[in-house]
A and B are shown apart, each in its own frame.
Chain A
Amino acid sequence: MKYFLTWFGGIVLGVAAALAALYYNPLTSGGGTAPNVASTLTLSYGFPEPNVLALSHNEQLKLAPIPEEIPLLWESGIDGTALSVLALADSEGQTMAVASRVSVPSLRTNLLLEGILVDDYWLITVADEGSLFVRAQSNYWPLFKETVVLVGYLRRPWSGPRRYAPTAGPRAGRFAEVIGATGRFAGRDGTAQEFLTLDRYSAAGGFESMHGQLLLALDEEPAP
């Protein structure tokens, strides 16, 4: 018994040390939170109010579906996926675009080297201008550990507001990829970065107030 307890004590201490190492792991903590993209288009949204038109997932997220009666994404082929429809605003707060965002937890997720990766696919239509896609790989580990782990599990008070830069790829330099589709975006590519400011989070209410910003840098318009 004494030997078992000694061995078990070693295991517990080893696991605790590894969890601490994972929590403070610089490899998964993301980059800086200052934009390093010369934005040609900046789109903003408040989450969940006032810009979320629809939000559906499998109810594992601590977010109420919007509207309440929206069908949930519970089927095993799409389990874990989240769909949000956002009215995106320009820098003056005027709604200028509508976006469909499909967020798919990535099979590449690992907590040792990458973090919690989510493949984010945006389909954005800008009023009177056209549509474009944004393909992003986002690392939500920094956001997750400071909210769900720290506040949710460890019951620490929320120390926000906090700013996050979840974009981790797929382009080098932690940029998302922009693919122009129609209108003035047709044939144009570029890069994008997303920034989140989490204003309020609580163990009971989850993500209560957040603001997002999507910065897009597009190539020059092709000559007519």
Chain B
Amino acid sequence: MKRLFVFGLIAGFAGTLAAAYWVPWFSYTRYASQTSVVANGGRAEQFVIRLPADRVYPLDQGVEETPESGGSEQPHAYVEHFKLRDTAGNVVGIAARHTLGEEQPATVWLLSIPSRGALMLDGGAVLPATIRALLVQQGWVPGEPWAGQLTLTDGARAESVATTNEFDGLAVELTETWTISGVSPSGELRGTIALNTVGRRGS
């Protein structure tokens, strides 16, 4: 009887500690990476942001907004946050983009994909002023809805300054391509932002 009690005691103690160590407390759905091999080495992968559905904050950011965030008390930085999808349409992560300065804007991206790691990138981006100007060229009148097809990209590539977990050790380049299919009367964009990345090992 005493042995049985001690056995139960040890089993309960050890089992709980084993669970504390071995139980996976968190898990994320790991979708298959939609990658392809590029000719001169490395792997290419595209992530997609659907507008306006994937915009997280600010919610009311439209093409008519000025490139500032948070009102007069906040730094004059243009900050945006999106849900990030793979090319199959699955939400795989969160993207944050900060742009500072207007004449020679500097843009940085943070892409966090919980099941895979994070990418921190520094480099060029498509700017709202550029989008506005091109839309006006295409016949968009501010305050009115617009429908059409506008594709724009910035030649400058963003380059990774840090990577984690699955991306660790990769030098990643990113280019943005915006495909705009419409603008609402409030200036909200409809379309997609494609983030094309190429990762190379060990540079």
| A residues in contact (CB < 8 Å) with B | 2-3, 6-19, 21-22, 53-54, 56, 67, 69-71, 73, 75-81, 83, 85, 87, 95-98, 100, 102, 104-107, 109-113, 116, 119, 121, 123, 125-128, 130-131, 133, 135, 177, 179-183, 186
Contact = CB atoms under 8 A, between A and B. Distances in A.
B74 A95 contact: yes
Interface in B19-55: 20-29, 31, 55
A11 B81 contact: no
B70 interface: yes
- Interface majority SS (helix, strand, loop, mixed), chain B: mixed
A134 B26 CA distance: 22
Contacts of A130: 100, 106
A154 B100 CA distance: 47
B94 A102 contact: yes
A78 B15 contact: no
Nearest to B106: A182
B164 A135 contact: yes
A127 B5 CA distance: 65
A78 B114 contact: yes
Nearest to A100: B96
A163 B162 CA distance: 30
Contacts of B59: 67, 69-71
Given A78-B93, A181-B120, A112 B8 contact: no
Contact of B5 (A9, A17, A105): A9
Contacts of B176: none
B12 A105 contact: no
B114 A104 contact: yes
Contacts of A182: 100, 106, 108, 122
Q: Most chain-A Cβ atoms within 10 A of its Cβ — which of B11, B69, B113, B122?
A: B122
Contact of B75 (A11, A67, A98, A113): A98
Interface size class, chain B: 35 or more
B9 interface: yes
Contact of A125 (B10, B23, B26, B75): B75
Given A83-B57, A102-B112, A78 B94 contact: yes
Contact of A10 (B4, B29, B57, B112): B4
Given A81-B112, A112-B17, A179-B161, 19 more contacts: A6-B4, A7-B8, A10-B6, A10-B8, A10-B9, A11-B11, A12-B12, A14-B11, A15-B12, A16-B12, A70-B56, A71-B56, A76-B29, A81-B114, A83-B96, A100-B98, A123-B110, A135-B162, A186-B122
Nearest to B17: A18
A15 B21 contact: no
B160 to A, nearest CB: 10
A75 B17 CA distance: 31
B8 A11 contact: yes
A76 B98 contact: no
A126 B75 contact: yes
A158 to B, nearest CB: 25
